[in-house]
Structure 1
Amino acid sequence: MNREQKRMLQRQGQMGADGSAGSRRTSVDDVQRRRSGERTRPRDFVRQVREEMRQVAWPTRPEVVNYTTIVLFVLVFMTALIFGLGVGSEKFVSFLFTK
């Protein structure tokens, strides 16, 4: 480990000045949750979920239609390809065993 890496780890609190492993930094929320010993209440959980869902980049209707069309086209193509390979291999095997 070079000097720059050691300095970075010391700044992050993961390494002591003497090179020994330091304690891992924790966020303020983690520390408070550990101290209080409380669990998240269901109301808080639902509120946090709703906040996160608002931040999701939902696709627009044209994007959904476009992606659905592509998926259906690929599905039909792959089904036809696998069906064709199955029929072709069946014909080939029956040709080999009839002679």
Structure 2
Amino acid sequence: MSMDDLNREQKRQLKKMGALDDQGKMQRAPRPQPKKKQDRVTPAQYLREVRDEMRKVAWPKRPEIIRYSIVVLITVIVYTALVGGLDYGFGKAAEWFYSTS
């Protein structure tokens, strides 16, 4: 690809990335430096940071927990009854279908 094939916007982007010099000639862009590996933190520092983050959590109040627990229990009971009823119905249908009379 020659410079004549590029439009003005492409040339601006190449210059911004460092692939063009001030005269508009192609140059090799410098390689990005590898990022320095972050040092590991000590277990004590990790626990302090965890404690600080846990203080920021908006914990639900007791009435919310009770309400959500009731919703979960009712949902579990309904779905358990649904699956149990379907299992019973399909079992009876299979028993009728495969019975030898």
- Range of TM-score over shorter length: 0.5 to 0.7
The CA deviation string for residues 22-66 of structure 1, in whole angstroms up to 9 with x for no partner, is 63896xxxx5x74xxx53122211111110001112111111111
CA distance in 1: counterparts of 2:97 and 2:18, whole angstroms = 77
- Give identity over the alignment, percent: 31
Distance change in 2, residues 1:24/1:51 (3 Å): farther
RMSD: 3.3
Aligned to 1:40: 41
Aligned to 2:32: 23
Is 1:77 paired with 2:78? Answer: yes
Which stretch shows the higher mean deviation, 52-61 or 15-24? Answer: 15-24
Aligned to 2:93: 92
Cα offset, 1:17, TM superposition: 2.7
Q: Which entry has the higher C-alpha Rg, 1 or 2?
A: 2
Distance change in 2, residues 1:76/1:39 (3 Å): same
Relative to the length of structure 1, the TM-score reads: 0.63
Give 4+ residue runs of structure 1 displaced > 4 Å after superposition.
19-22
Aligned to 1:67: 68
The CA deviation string for residues 66-97 of structure 1, in whole angstroms up to 9 with x for no partner, is 11111101111111111101110111111122
Q: Between Structure 1 and Structure 2, how many residues are aligned? A: 82
Report the 3-state secondary structure (helix = DSSP H, G, I; strand = E; otherwise coil) of the residue aligned with 1:72.
helix
Higher helix share: 1
Is 1:55 paired with 2:56? Answer: yes
- Residue segments in structure 1 that go unaligned for 5+ positions in a row: none
**One-letter amino acid of the counterpart of residue 23, structure 1:** P
Relative to the length of structure 2, the TM-score reads: 0.62
